[in-house]
Amino acid sequence: MGTINVDVVTPDGPVYEGSADMVVAKSNRGELGILPGHIPMVAPLAISAVRLKNGTNTEYLAVSGGFLEVRPDKVTILAQAAERPENIDVDRANKAKQRAEALLNSTNNSEKVDKARAELALNRAINRINVKR
Ligand code: ATP
């Protein structure tokens, strides 16, 4: 059935370049399993783990939102940020998680915008912690 090329690019540069039997990614509408020959499409990416399957091996990448572009022979992920597990600093993610939780738990309700941002920061931190595991 062949493989599909995979590029993961961020504003800081490429994070992954390779191929996979199957790419599993989470769009805002749900999970997508992409095999070679998939119809072309573009979808927004959730803060989530992207799974790159090769045989029985699965690699995980933490992506912090962005876009997924699918062509029959290639998947391109344009992410705001993306990390391979080996590059994830868990202490940093735990600190980001604690900061976000503190903001969300604070009784100051006048900062609605900050709370929405804190929610996203919390999701990014939890996603990184999960991918590192
Ligand atoms: P922090 O508050 O710790 O900066 P953040 O979620 O606000 O976390 P981002 O704005 O998503 O950080 O990312 C900024 C840059 O830092 C990106 O290049 C991202 O890959 C990197 N980065 C963020 N958190 C981590 C982490 N825990 N380990 C490794 N790289 C990280």
What is the mean predicted confidence (pLDDT) over 20-28?
A: 95
Q: Which residue's C-alpha comes closest to atom 18 of ligand 1?
A: 81
pLDDT at position 88 is 98
pLDDT at position 112 is 65
Looking at domain 89-132, its CATH architecture is Up-down Bundle (1.20)
pLDDT mean across residues, the chain: 94
Task: Give the number of the atom of ligand 1 that is nearest the alpha carbon of residue 87.
Answer: 29
Q: Do domains 4-83 and 89-132 have the same CATH topology?
A: no
What contacts 84, CB < 8 A, 6 or more positions away? Answer: 15, 16, 59, 61
What percentage of the chain exceeds 90 in pLDDT? 86
| E strands in 35-107 | 41-54, 57-71, 74-79, 82-83
pLDDT at position 109 is 63
pLDDT in tens, 31-53: 999 999 999 999 999 999 999 99
What percentage of the chain exceeds 70 in pLDDT? 95
Task: Give the number of the atom of ligand 1 that is nearest the alpha carbon of residue 89.
Answer: 28
Per the CATH hierarchy, to which homologous superfamily does domain 4-83 belong?
Answer: F0F1 ATP synthase delta/epsilon subunit, N-terminal (2.60.15.10)
**Cα 38 to middle of ligand 1, angstroms:** 31
pLDDT at position 106 is 84
What contacts 16, CB < 8 A, 6 or more positions away? Answer: 6, 7, 8, 52, 61, 82, 84
d(CA 46, CA 25): 8
Residue boundaries of the structural domains of the chain: 4-83, 89-132
